[in-house]
Amino acid sequence: MLPKFEDFLYPFLVSLKDGKKTLSEVKDRIKKHLNLSEEDCVSKTKSGNTNQFEDRLGWARQYFRRALFIDIPQRGTYELTQRGKDYLANHSSLSIEDLMAYPEFASYAKRDVNKKDSTKSTTEELTPIESLKSAYKLINDDISEELLALVLKQTPQFFEKLVVDLLKGMGYGGGNEDYGLVTQYSKDGGIDGIIKEDKLGLENIYIQAKRWTVPVGSREIQQFIGVLDGKKASKGVFITTSTYAKTARKCAEESTRKIVLIDGKQLADYMLEYNIGVSVKDTLYLKKIDSDYFDEVL
């Protein structure tokens, strides 16, 4: 029988004790630490759709990321942060309650799932459907944040392609693969991508993409507006992995051009919604009684 999720936490941490490891190496070390058989590792959840071992491993990784115990220096590779090393040096076990001592994890663990509707009594429990929706949002929020972290590790050229793929995925360009392009990197003239709204190219949407960690200011928006003026363009989309200063948003709002600003959180949420960089892992169908069926006159 597979151990409960909490029992995976300490072995996960121990597996990284002597340096960075790939996901495959982490799995092997956890299997050995918990003395798991191959049969244990292929067992499914009650629904039969999810591998229990992979599920527990994935959530352990998420918990450690939230508690700032581990880092992902590159895709599929994990290593301990200084906080993780310090904990491991002074403890021989680890529980969720131990992680709650760290404010970053505590803030994450207490949000959404435990949040009650403000119009309800504080002692009233969530209904099963409300609990399901809260859990769904929590999972998606986790994936969105991980998506953004992965995007920040990519090259500027990759990011420019990503934003064009996203806009095409959202339906811009009429669904035609040839109606969206990334401009030549060294000669983009302040434009990182172009989406054609019609076959004749009578209306183009120009894209500026900034893979930044600092807020975008009004200066960058003013420069973008200048580029749009030079192109005699009426529409532009400015996308960043960071945020926008209030002055930047005001500058965009006051422009005679139609400019849409997308920040890092919105970017990750859109990627999740339009399946850019993600794939469907599982599908759950929520059903209800069909009263019409029982009201039929035989």
Whether residues 84 and 138 fall in one domain: no
Whether residues 154 and 263 fall in one domain: yes
Q: What is the model's pLDDT at position 179? A: 61
Whether residues 20 and 82 fall in one domain: yes
How are beta strands 180-182 and 258-262 bridged, if at all? unpaired
CATH number at 247 reads: 3.40.1350.10
What is the secondary structure of 123-147 as a DSSP string?
TPPPPHHHHHHHHHHHHHHHHHHHH
Domain boundary among 49, 77, 110: 110
Per DSSP, the three-state class of 235 is strand
CATH number at 58 reads: 1.10.10.10
**pTM exceeds cut of 0.75:** no
> Which residue segment(s) compose the domain that 259 sits in?
114-298
Domain count, the chain: 2
User: Can you list the residues of the chain whose pLDDT is less than 70?
Assistant: 45-49, 111-127, 174-189, 198-201, 296-298
Whether residues 125 and 150 fall in one domain: yes
Whether residues 120 and 17 fall in one domain: no
Identity (one letter) of the amino acid at 22? T
- In this structure, the number of other CB atoms found within 10 A of the CB of residue 218 comes to 16
How far is 162 from 141, CA to CA, in rounded Å? 20
Whether residues 146 and 248 fall in one domain: yes
How are beta strands 204-210 and 235-240 bridged, if at all? parallel
